Amino acid sequence: MNILLVVAVALIDVDDRILIAQRPQGKQLAGLWEFPGGKVDAGERPEAALIRELHEELDIAVKEDCLAPLTFASHGYEAFHLLMPLYVCRRWEGLVRPREGQAVKWVRATDLRNYPMPPADAPLIPPLIDLLG
């Protein structure tokens, strides 16, 4: 069994809303809403991977000490087993600007269930509701 390590983040704004992004057409799980992030490259530290992904996908700069671990997803997909730490981040530099054509939305934790997400993400929602209400 192949374990795929993916890092993701709940970016939280001053009104306690969370950023979700819609996976672009042509990608696996296209159309579903996800937490920004992506695959950790070989030899890359998870936090460095997340900082890189946030720059690539959203054009923001995040400092490592602004990333706090919250929970993780562990989910068996057909082709691999996903292990995905979820960080929270309330501070970054720059304005969120989707660079890969993806739609983004700021939503309350209690509204996350209204957006179809990958199956791995369902267990991530209660800890976010606990944190933010």
Residues in contact with ligand 8DG by the rule CB under 6 A: 6, 8, 27-29, 34-35, 37-39, 53, 82, 118, 120-121
127 binding Mg ion? (CB under 5 A): no
Judged by CB under 5 A, which stretch of 13-21, 24-32, 38-46, 70-78 contacts Mg ion? Answer: 38-46
| Whether 81 contacts 4, CB under 8 Å | yes
Q: 3-state DSSP call for residue 107?
A: strand
Residue 38 or residue 123: which is nearer to Mg ion going by CB?
38
- C-alpha–C-alpha distance, residues 133 and 127, integer Å: 9
- C-alpha–C-alpha distance, residues 131 and 133, integer Å: 6
Residue 27 or residue 91: which is nearer to ligand 8DG going by CB?
27
- C-alpha–C-alpha distance, residues 97 and 36, integer Å: 12
Residue 58 or residue 128: which is nearer to Mg ion going by CB?
58
123 binding Mg ion? (CB under 5 A): no
Written as six digits, the tokens of 79 are 């082709």
- Please identify which residue in 5, 38, 77, 83 interacts with Mg ion, judged by CB under 5 A: 38
Residue 24 or residue 94: which is nearer to ligand 8DG going by CB?
24
Smallest gap from residue 130 Cβ to Mg ion (A): 25
Q: What angle do CA 73, 16, 123 make, to 5 degrees?
A: 20
